[in-house]
Structure 1
Amino acid sequence: MKHGTLLVVDDNRNILTTVKMVTEQTFERIICLASPSSLLTRLREDQPDVVLLDMNFHSGINNGNEGLYWLREIKKARPQTAVVLFTAYADIELAVTGLKDGAADFIVKPFDNHQLIEKLTDAYQKTRKKKPTITAVSEMIWGTSPAMRHLRDMVEKVAGTDANILITGENGTGKEVLAKEIHRLSKRAGKALMPIDLGAVTETLFESELFGYVKGAFTDAKTDKPGKFELAEGGTLFLDEIGNLSYALQAKLLTALQRRTIVRVGGSKPIPIDVRVVCATNRNLEEMVRQGAFREDLLYRINTIQLHLPPLRERTGDIMTYAGSFLHRYAHLYNKEGMTFAPDTQEKIEHLPWYGNIRELQHAVEKAVILSDGTTIRPDDIEGSATTRPQPTNDIQRLDDMEREMIAKAITECEGNLSHVASQLGISRQTLYNKMKKYGI
């Protein structure tokens, strides 16, 4: 009988195909990734029992450090998941390091099929004997600026409640990391934190993604599938970019939150849900309500507590705290331990505007670590990709505002029926979709 979920991460697609064929009679679900870039997201969404993790992903780096880095990230994010390391190098020291860092076992390529199944099965059985462990590791870097100290006080007060929370802030300020911290500190920490980017969910897939579907609901629905609400049962549902949700879909989300039940697509049975909702946006939802682009009743429902993450340029005293953390992380990842910032590099970092916020700073430090030839990061090694922010002219801004307001008003008058909206405005549905995406409606 097949049991559990296996996540395989290897940049060799032939190996992914082979492993899937070998293990498909052992595991109920097998997920294959050719890159670890989406590993943590799939870890949260699919909650695998076992991860088979390759040790190397970038050409020219073959010392296993990447595998060890991702092993530690997996154990931080989901310690109850067993990790089996996959390496082409029979290096006992590397294997011992991996085992010390929490790996359940390791497999050397080329592998024996029977040994592969045996080790993966043993790793799965070990997860069955353990109760889920609440991770005590925090990804949040608070800093010491007054704004962040105030935010930390607020989080410590509200995290332990079941109040719905709205996190606001510019792109790259760390809204998802803050959502993880709220979940970590909550009574629901032993359950799943289920993130979903509403800006990336198309209108046609919204209900099946959030509410799930039953077998036969549509052509490709070959089995029943739970949606994000069910997968987050007892835990936290993180709805990112909620300001990008169309007016019509806002009503469907509001209904689920008010009734605390969902109905799968193609089904008829109401399913009770017990989730805490944390939302995030980089938009001004109050202004969107005034423009008729966001439902006021939904805003009240998700905005019991509002937490604002200030842009990095407004907490300059924390910039080097973040930069130092990223330097340590990537120096370890790329086997360049002991790297430091030169004093004039620190000064440059502190004075760049960082319009891309923490995300931009993180990418800049990673790039500097990769390209640096020595152990000291020099000023020329640090590039701020958004050191200047072009501003639209007032005339263009006013035209955009008028068009956006006209579309929002039409959506309200047509009660979210986009076919009627497009007809009223004299444009095609596709043009309407493009403009809604442009303006974040």
Structure 2
Amino acid sequence: MADFDCCIIVDDDEDILVAARLALRGLFREIVTVSSPDKALAAAAGRSPDVILLDANFARGATDAQEGLALLDQLLAADPEAIIVMITAHAGVNVAVDAMKHGATDFVSKPWENDRLVQTVRTAAALRRSRRAAPAGQAASSNGAPLIGSAPAMARVHSLIARAAPTDANVLVLGENGTGKELVARALHDQSLRAAKPMVTVDLGAIATELIDSELFGHVKGAFTDARADRIGRIQAADGGTLFLDEIGNLPLHLQPKLLTALEQRQVTPVGANKAVPVDIRVIAATNMTTTMLRDPRSFRQDLLFRLNTVEIDLPPLRDRREDIPALIDHYLAHYAARYGRTHSTVPPETRAALVHHDWPGNVRALRHAVERAVILAGDAPLTPDHFALLPNEPALRMTTASSAPDLNLDRVERRLVEEALKKHGYNISAAAQELGVSRAALYRRMEKHGL
């Protein structure tokens, strides 16, 4: 089953359109390919795509990306929240940085590696989903992706955001999966003096270890076997703006000194280059690692930690702010009722009480998925706990009990194993993935599937 709804690919090269469609077909229910700017505008106008993959040049021989940037501006004028990934065969620093300044979310260079393309597009589509699903309320940001919550545990979060955002202090956001760390980062950026500049997100938990160096710092042509052209790194792409390092706990130890040097000296050296490039960035990092794990020098360099956590924001799990659950339920009910063309279902008091008392191990993300499921299944009927598929609050479902046969339901068994591995390793994605024998990207997909 596809993870997202729609992707539009815009390129004048039919071979590129076919290659991109084949690489991304498992991600989207619908992939629309168009070969000209006019067709791109028409396709986007009739849909609400998760991602638009946009070529930088259309005219024969063009390399300055002016056509692509002009179309980028038009698409964003029509939909300011559109997620656009720029693609170009001429992935120089100027093209990539200009695209980000014009509002592109990310960029890829062609010829691309399919794994890199899929990871980039998946991250971009997830951002679009989070913007659509984000409830209206406090800590509002210019891109419409605010944090909701008025519980005492959230009041401190809002206060820290308000005080830290206007400064250039680096911020470390802690919290379990699904608590909204990306939304905190987005609010910090949008309320900062860098709001007009790009916020570049790097999900370190979804990038293969051997690609992280090139992804962060970039590379020059010939730096390694597949380095066919110079490629700007994410740190340099964020110049003037904000760099959001999600899942910083997954940064390998051997790369942590290089990141520390880049932050201290405010310059980066691409892989294979001899000359450093100056950068001006504000860093926001996030992790689901506990404070104890972060302060273990065997897993994280303490000098890098001191550099990252000038301000530390600890997001509470949903079970510690249950008074926010009714507002979240009402928001997501309205959101998904509108999305699927359903009437706004009522929530009887007993159902609402069950939802409030549930522990929500996947936090707000799990609640959002549960509400979406309920809206789809219930139709116009009053909502019951069964519509939300609430699982018991025990740490994990048991494979067997004294009075029952083994539970052979694959979905439940998979969910239990994933949850057990995550808890065993303190929600360290790399360690849990290794225990389960899957890649980090595969583990993320299963966490999303089960709302963990």
What's the TM-score, normalizing by structure 1?
0.63
5+ residue gaps in structure 2? 31-36, 52-70, 83-97, 105-139, 399-420, 426-430, 441-452
SS in structure 1 at match of 2:283: strand
1:192 is aligned to 2:198: yes
Do the aligned residues in 2 keep the contact of 1:135 with 1:184 (CA within 8 Å)? yes
User: What CA distance in whole angstroms lies between the structure 2 residues aligned with 1:271 and 1:390?
Assistant: 49
1:207 is aligned to 2:213: yes
1:263-342 to 2 correspondences below 5 Å? 263-290=269-296, 292-342=298-348
Do the aligned residues in 2 keep the contact of 1:342 with 1:379 (CA within 8 Å)? no
- Judging changes above 3 Å, is the alpha-carbon distance between structure 1 residues 144 and 326 closer, same or farther for their aligned structure 2 residues? same
- Judging changes above 3 Å, is the alpha-carbon distance between structure 1 residues 436 and 260 closer, same or farther for their aligned structure 2 residues? farther
Identity of aligned residues (%): 38
Note the alpha carbon deviations across 1:212-241, whole angstroms, 9 max, x for none.
Answer: 111222222222110101111111111111
Note the C-alpha offset of 1:191.
Answer: 1.1
1:347 is aligned to 2:339: no
1:82 is aligned to 2:74: yes
Note the C-alpha offset of 1:291.
Answer: 5.3
1:423-438 to 2 correspondences below 5 Å? 434=434
Do the aligned residues in 1 keep the contact of 2:345 with 2:379 (CA within 8 Å)? no
SS in structure 1 at match of 2:313: strand
Note the C-alpha offset of 1:246.
Answer: 2.1
Note the C-alpha offset of 1:55.
Answer: 7.2
Note the C-alpha offset of 1:286.
Answer: 4.2
Aligned partner of 1:223 in structure 2 is: 229
5+ residue gaps in structure 1? 1-8, 40-47, 57-63, 72-78, 85-97, 105-126, 393-399, 405-430
1:372-391 to 2 correspondences below 5 Å? 372-374=378-380, 376-385=382-391, 387-390=393-396
239-248 or 176-185, which deviates more: 239-248
Give the residue type in structure 1 aligned to 2:232: P
Note the alpha carbon deviations across 1:51-73, whole angstroms, 9 max, x for none.
Answer: 668579xxxxxxx7xx34859xx
Note the C-alpha offset of 1:335.
Answer: 1.4
Aligned to 1:178, which of 145, 168, 184?
184
Aligned to 1:21, which of 4, 13, 17?
13
User: What CA distance in whole angstroms lies between the structure 1 residues aligned with 2:355 and 2:286?
Assistant: 27
User: What CA distance in whole angstroms lies between the structure 2 residues aligned with 1:309 and 1:38?
Assistant: 33
SS in structure 1 at match of 2:197: coil
Give the residue type in structure 2 aligned to 1:248: H
User: What CA distance in whole angstroms lies between the structure 2 residues aligned with 1:149 and 1:364?
Assistant: 25
SS in structure 2 at match of 1:204: helix
Note the C-alpha offset of 1:314.
Answer: 0.4
Aligned partner of 2:248 in structure 1 is: 242
1:74-153 to 2 correspondences below 5 Å? 81-83=73-75, 136-153=142-159
- Judging changes above 3 Å, is the alpha-carbon distance between structure 1 residues 186 and 371 closer, same or farther for their aligned structure 2 residues? same
- Judging changes above 3 Å, is the alpha-carbon distance between structure 1 residues 52 and 343 closer, same or farther for their aligned structure 2 residues? farther
Aligned partner of 2:411 in structure 1 is: none
* Bigger CA radius of gyration: 1
Aligned partner of 2:418 in structure 1 is: none
Note the C-alpha offset of 1:257.
Answer: 1.1
User: What CA distance in whole angstroms lies between the structure 2 residues aligned with 1:184 and 1:225?
Assistant: 27
Aligned partner of 2:258 in structure 1 is: 252
- Judging changes above 3 Å, is the alpha-carbon distance between structure 1 residues 70 and 204 closer, same or farther for their aligned structure 2 residues? closer
Aligned partner of 2:167 in structure 1 is: 161
Note the alpha carbon deviations across 1:254-303, whole angstroms, 9 max, x for none.
Answer: 11111111111111110011111001111124444345321110110001
Cα RMSD, aligned residues only: 4.5
Note the C-alpha offset of 1:336.
Answer: 1.4
Do the aligned residues in 1 keep the contact of 2:198 with 2:241 (CA within 8 Å)? yes
User: What CA distance in whole angstroms lies between the structure 1 residues aligned with 2:256 and 2:288?
Assistant: 17
Aligned residues: 328
User: What CA distance in whole angstroms lies between the structure 1 residues aligned with 2:336 and 2:44?
Assistant: 16
204-213 or 137-146, which deviates more: 137-146
What's the TM-score, normalizing by structure 2?
0.62
Give the residue type in structure 2 aligned to 1:170: E
User: What CA distance in whole angstroms lies between the structure 2 residues aligned with 1:137 and 1:11?
Assistant: 20
SS in structure 2 at match of 1:187: coil
